[in-house]
Amino acid sequence: MSTQPGVDPSLLFSGPNAPEESDLYKCVHCGFCLQACPTYIETGLETESPRGRIALMKAVNEGRIGITDTVIRHWDLCIQCRACEVACPSGVPYGNLIEATMAQVADHRKQNIVQKGAADLSLKRIVPHQRRLQALMSLTKLYQRSGVQALLRNSGLLDKLMPSMAALESSMPEVSSTYFKAKGQTVAAVGEKRARVAVLSGCIMPLINGPEMDAAVRVLARNGCEIVVPKGQVCCGAINSHVGDLDTARKLARRNIDVFTDAGVEYVVIASAGCGSRMKEYGHLLKDDSEYAERSHIFSYTVKDINEFLVELPFDPPTAALDYRVTYQDSCHLGNAQRITAAPRQILRSIQGVEFVELPNAGQCCGAGGTYTITERDFSLRVLNSKMDAFETTEADVLATANPGCLMQLQFGVQDRKLDAKVKYVTDLLDEAYRLEELNSENL
């Protein structure tokens, strides 16, 4: 298509990572997706809606506008929650479109040398390398536990000097006392072996939720799974994809396909919804890779979210009872990207003593989403605010979810409002019931 006068041709979509026209022109601008979109709900603006963002993609594709800062701003504000995909009657694959668009944005974003250096350092040199990430987290742990964090917070110094940094610092998750490590270990099944599975360790989750990863492994073992945690596995690539760094995401995907294929398992079970969604879509990510295109499709079929896997197995309902009123927040990458909404609820309802109440807007994003809580802090908090209003109406003791980003965001919401409630993974509750069951049987 020809470029309109005044539009710089270098600011148009180009190269192999451009959004596909067959996806783009599926959108018929009907608007069914508008009320599903958290950024449209917050602003009421067409430009902050899925339809508006797709219209901007089409305009760039047709050479009517370029990828300017103004246009980028509207795409940046997208949380990539994919609620619009579920609402769309025309089957527009919005996830593919925004992923490709952000890859184009990455080539055109104006950054000074410090911003570019910081982005490259964190996304290319730290996140994909578990040892470096762990070293960084260990420093953070020292900061949190040495008393320096408390001193800084109580002094109010950061608030006065750098308010935006203070806001970020206040939402920093607590680093785990113990890390979950992928060392090539095998955990035996409890009782008769029903399946041999591998577990993804991930990047951030094993460092901030080490004990929760251990709980997920115990739940699998308790249900007859032999678990391997292959050495050499890497981050799934979701964080890199989110910001348009598809080259790094592809490198990570190839490595994981090799490592998990060599593990010789029936399934690769994922405790984080965001990672599961990324790995189930390796086929699309590597579709143009002559060596991995077919392998990635086959591999994707072996990837299972842990809630999905447990229900299909099927898991043993625990016999011990917990005493909680529990509600559940659908993680977007489980509900919208993987379309799994019933399994976590089925698990929660199976636990005796759990009084399950639905969260009024459970399907709406909590405002987390890749790096969104950092890069779009104000907007992320606006979306979280609606979520916490809804949570308070449930009067639940526990807010369950299925993704580390959501867990951190919701924990921040609970702390910020000083609520007497806990945020947990669904598998944490199942593990707690199983452990109580074990204790009860020992005391018989």
Nearer to ligand SF4, 25 or 301 (CB): 25
30 touching ligand SF4, by CB under 6 A? yes
Nearer to ligand SF4, 47 or 68 (CB): 47
Contacts made by residues 143-147, CB under 8 angstroms, sequence distance 24+: 144/172, 144/174, 144/175
Nearer to ligand SF4, 70 or 90 (CB): 90
Q: Would you give the DSSP letter of residue 9?
A: G
Residues numbered 187-216 forming contacts with ligand SF4, rule: CB under 6 A: none
Yes or no: say if 386 and 393 are a contact pair by the CB < 8 Å rule.
no
**Kind of pairing, strands 185-187 and 225-229?**
antiparallel
Q: Which two tokens stand for residue 430?
A: 């199942």
Q: Would you give the DSSP letter of residue 35?
A: G
Site stretch for ligand SF4 (CB under 6 A), options 25-33, 370-378, 406-414, 423-431: 25-33
Residue 211's contacts (CB-CB under 8 Å, 6 or more residues apart) are 176, 177, 178
Q: What are phi and psi of 218, to 5 degrees?
A: -60, -40
Count of residues that interact with ligand SF4, criterion CB under 6 A: 27
For the CB of residue 254, give the shortest distance to ligand SF4 in the complex, in Å: 27
Q: Which two tokens stand for residue 21?
A: 């026209």
For the CB of residue 366, give the shortest distance to ligand SF4 in the complex, in Å: 12
Largest Cα–Cα distance of the chain, in whole Å? 83
For the CB of residue 94, give the shortest distance to ligand SF4 in the complex, in Å: 5
State the CB neighbour count (10 A cutoff) for residue 322: 18
**Is residue 103 helix, strand or coil?**
helix
Nearer to ligand SF4, 39 or 248 (CB): 39
Nearer to ligand SF4, 27 or 269 (CB): 27
Nearer to ligand SF4, 49 or 394 (CB): 49
Nearer to ligand SF4, 256 or 338 (CB): 338
Nearer to ligand SF4, 230 or 244 (CB): 244
Site stretch for ligand SF4 (CB under 6 A), options 27-35, 206-214, 293-301, 401-409: 27-35
28 touching ligand SF4, by CB under 6 A? yes
Question: What are the counts of helices (DSSP H) followed by strands (DSSP E) for the chain?
Answer: 25, 9
Compute the half-sphere exposure of residue 65: CA atoms within 13 Å on the CB side of its CA: 12
Residues numbered 65-94 forming contacts with ligand SF4, rule: CB under 6 A: 78-84, 87-88, 90, 92, 94
Distance of CA 269 to the CA centre of its chain: 15
Residues numbered 94-113 forming contacts with ligand SF4, rule: CB under 6 A: 94
Yes or no: say if 361 and 32 are a contact pair by the CB < 8 Å rule.
no
Tokens 């890859």 map to which residue? 103
For the CB of residue 291, give the shortest distance to ligand SF4 in the complex, in Å: 31
For the CB of residue 337, give the shortest distance to ligand SF4 in the complex, in Å: 10
Smallest Cα–Cα separation from 366: which of 419, 405, 422? Answer: 405
Tokens 């527009």 map to which residue? 92
Site stretch for ligand SF4 (CB under 6 A), options 33-41, 217-225, 287-295, 392-400: 33-41
Nearer to ligand SF4, 77 or 220 (CB): 77
For the CB of residue 122, give the shortest distance to ligand SF4 in the complex, in Å: 23
Residue 18's contacts (CB-CB under 8 Å, 6 or more residues apart) are 61, 100, 104
39 touching ligand SF4, by CB under 6 A? yes
| Residue from the set 7, 12, 24, 36 that interacts with ligand SF4 by CB under 6 A | 36
38 touching ligand SF4, by CB under 6 A? yes
CA angle 323–325–330, rounded 5-degree value = 130
Binding site for ligand SF4 (CB under 6 A): 27-33, 36-39, 50-51, 53-54, 78-84, 87-88, 90, 92, 94
